[in-house]
């Protein structure tokens, strides 16, 4: 049974990236596993990483006591994490970036020199992005950087960015992308 946790970076619960992440989670569990869905925007008390380095010595987890802390633990217990975000000003949203910064706590204390630096080695991550810009290659460098980050953490990582046009072609584009994301998730 596959345990999937989805972390959504869009401020909108019924957004395109959220819908695609839901499709990925459904494909990953195949109807038999467990999946949980978390919209970071719904969390009341969130703090960015404080660079206190406690997770590199005193504890093996983030010591901040906010609503991100239990989400980090939930993700750490999952087989697959699905992270989704629209592109905002050429980057992922601030909501998802804040969460990802906190996953710094998953690195082992010797991560600078250790070739296998992550506590969560062997798990999988699927990154789902959406953008309005019709040029699909515009933000490749950004997406590759997040893929490289989670790969270095020890996750088997894939990503897909979907161009979601504004206007009458919107629904058809999301429907087609949903089928593609399901395939990608099933092959992860």
For binding to ligand FMN (CB under 6 A), which residues are involved?
10, 12, 15-18, 86-90, 130-133, 164
Minimal distance, residue 137 CB to ligand FMN, in Å? 11
Residue 120 contacts residue 149 (beta carbons within 8 Å): no
Output 70 or 90, the one with its CB closest to ligand FMN.
90
Minimal distance, residue 91 CB to ligand FMN, in Å? 8
Minimal distance, residue 120 CB to ligand FMN, in Å? 26
Output 156 or 170, the one with its CB closest to ligand FMN.
170
Q: Write the DSSP string, the chain.
A: --EEEEEE-SS-TT-HHHHHHHHHHHHHHTTTSEEEEEEGGG-SS--------GGGTT-SS----SSHHHHHHHHHH-SEEEEEEEEETTEE-HHHHHHHHHGGGGB-TTTTT-SS-BTTTT-EEEEEEEES-S-TTTTHHHHHHHHHHHHHTT-EEEEEEEE--SSTTHHHHHHHHHHHHHHHHHH-
How far does CA 99 lie from the centroid of its chain? 9
Output 69 or 100, the one with its CB closest to ligand FMN.
100
Output 15 or 157, the one with its CB closest to ligand FMN.
15
Minimal distance, residue 138 CB to ligand FMN, in Å? 7
Minimal distance, residue 17 CB to ligand FMN, in Å? 3
């Amino acid at each position: 049974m596959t345990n999937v946790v989805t972390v959504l970076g869009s401020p909108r619960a019924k957004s395109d990236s959220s819908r695609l992440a839901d499709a990925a989670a459904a494909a990953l569990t195949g109807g038999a596993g467990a999946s949980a869905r978390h919209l970071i925007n719904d969390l009341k008390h969130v703090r960015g990483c404080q660079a206190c380095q406690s997770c590199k010595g005193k504890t093996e987890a983030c010591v901040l006591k906010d609503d991100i802390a239990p989400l980090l633990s939930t993700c750490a217990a999952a087989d697959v994490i699905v992270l989704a975000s629209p592109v905002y000003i050429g980057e992922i949203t601030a909501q998802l970036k804040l969460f990802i910064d906190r996953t710094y706590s998953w690195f082992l204390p010797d991560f600078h020199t250790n070739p296998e630096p992550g506590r969560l080695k062997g798990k999988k991550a699927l990154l789902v992005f959406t953008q309005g810009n019709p040029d699909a290659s515009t933000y490749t460098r950004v997406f590759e950087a997040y893929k490289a980050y989670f790969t270095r953490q020890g996750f088997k990582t894939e990503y897909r960015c979907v161009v979601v046009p504004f206007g009458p072609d919107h629904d058809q584009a999301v429907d087609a992308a949903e089928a593609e994301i399901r395939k990608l998730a099933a092959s992860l």
